[in-house]
């Protein structure tokens, strides 16, 4: 039994990263976590590449003050634009989140899939490269969804707004598509609404469990996994309002969450 209690650092622009955190907690329950939601700067999907890189560097520096052993970028947008910068600059293992195009292309029978994500992710070179590398011979329809993350940030209080946006964006998913990739970590919290809006059987695929599996193998390979039986602790920080974060996060995770304010 190994007792490496150094935490895993994880960040997103907001509460979306919790969809990755919950998978990590499931697959690596003994680990400690430091989660940062950069809510002072949400939405990342409308930031420039330079802004995204600057924010990612500042957040990583903050998380390193907690002596993290692994950094998980629980944000597709930040991964697409800043993972190389972080890897060049910081000497620790980094796992990023990208839209699950590779498994989608493998599983698709109709050879047509759609990807929804933030405007920045959808227009990124990183996504183009992912498609060129892993989805040869598959039609991939890219749909940028401005404002959708905000319906999750506000705790889905205004469900009607989420439905209006989803009906608008999902009308562009071709009838022939048999898989929809959720290319933003906020969207898994909208799964039921997405299914209802599509109104037909289509498989939804997100990156959560794959990111947790990858993180686990990185920790095991570097001999830093914490395999003790007892549940680890998670500390939550936000650059926005801790009260607001705590209330939305408690609702999304279905358990009480307390948060502190962080300045990055
Ligand atoms: N959750 C983020 C992602 O996966 C970004 C949402 C946003 O801030 O625009 O891309």
Residues with Cβ within 8 Å of 197's Cβ and at least 6 positions away in sequence, in order, are: 163, 166, 167, 170
CATH 3.40.50.1860 fits 8-97+208-261, yes or no: yes
Residue 246 burial by Cβ neighbours in a 10 Å radius (0-12, 13-18, 19+): middle
Question: How is residue 71 written in tokens?
Answer: 């950094």
Global pTM value:
0.96
d(CA 231, CA 28): 9
Instruction: Sketch the domain layout of the chain as residue ranges.
Output: 8-97+208-261, 101-205
Is residue 145 annotated as a catalytic residue, yes or no?
Answer: no
Topology of domain 101-205, CATH: Rossmann fold (3.40.50)
The answer, yes or no, to whether any atom of ligand 1 lies below 6 A from the CB of 41, is: no
Q: Which residues of 220-244 are buried (b: 16+ CB within 10 A; e: fewer)?
A: eeeebbbeeeeebebebbbbbebeb
pLDDT values of the chain reduced to their tens digit, one per residue, 264 residues: 557 899 999 999 999 999 999 999 999 999 999 999 999 999 999 999 999 999 999 999 999 999 999 999 999 999 999 999 999 999 999 999 999 999 999 999 999 999 999 999 999 999 999 999 999 999 999 999 999 999 999 987 668 899 999 999 999 999 999 999 999 999 999 999 999 999 888 999 999 999 999 999 999 999 999 977 678 999 999 999 999 999 999 999 999 999 999 999
43 prior amide bond cis, ω within 30: yes
Q: 74: CA distance to ligand 1 center in Å?
A: 9
Q: 149: CA distance to ligand 1 center in Å?
A: 7
Ligand 1: which of 16, 98, 101 to mutate, judged by most atoms within 8 Å of the beta carbon? 16
**DSSP calls for 117-148:** E-HHHHT-HHHHHHHHHH-TTSEEEEEE-TTH
Same fold, 8-97+208-261 and 101-205: yes
Yes or no: say if 55 and 30 are a contact pair by the CB < 8 Å rule.
no
CA 12 to chain centroid, in Å, comes to: 7
């Amino acid at each position: 039994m190994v007792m490496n209690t150094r935490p895993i650092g994880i960040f997103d622009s907001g509460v979306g990263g919790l969809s990755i955190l919950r998978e990590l907690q499931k697959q690596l329950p003994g680990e400690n976590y430091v989660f940062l939601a950069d809510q002072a700067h949400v939405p990342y999907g409308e930031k420039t590449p330079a802004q995204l890189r600057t924010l990612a560097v500042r957040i990583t520096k903050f998380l390193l003050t907690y002596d993290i052993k692994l950094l998980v970028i629980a944000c597709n947008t930040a991964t697409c634009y800043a993972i190389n910068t972080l890897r060049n600059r910081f000497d620790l293992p980094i796992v990023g989140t990208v839209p699950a195009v590779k498994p989608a292309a493998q599983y698709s029978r109709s050879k047509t899939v759609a990807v929804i994500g933030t405007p920045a992710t959808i227009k990124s070179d990183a996504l183009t490269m992912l498609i060129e590398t892993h989805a040869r011979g598959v039609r991939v329809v890219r749909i940028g969804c401005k404002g959708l993350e905000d319906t999750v940030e506000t705790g889905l209080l205004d469900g009607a707004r989420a439905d209006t946006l989803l009906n608008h964006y999902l009308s562009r998913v071709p009838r022939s598509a048999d898989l929809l990739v959720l290319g933003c970590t906020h969207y898994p919290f909208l799964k039921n609404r997405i299914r209802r809006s599509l109104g037909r059987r289509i498989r939804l695929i997100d990156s959560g469990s794959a990111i947790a599996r990858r993180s686990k193998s990185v920790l095991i390979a570097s001999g830093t996994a914490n395999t003790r039986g007892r549940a680890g602790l998670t500390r939550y920080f936000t650059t926005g309002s801790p009260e607001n974060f705590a209330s939305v996060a408690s609702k999304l995770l279905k358990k009480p969450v307390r948060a502190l304010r962080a300045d990055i």
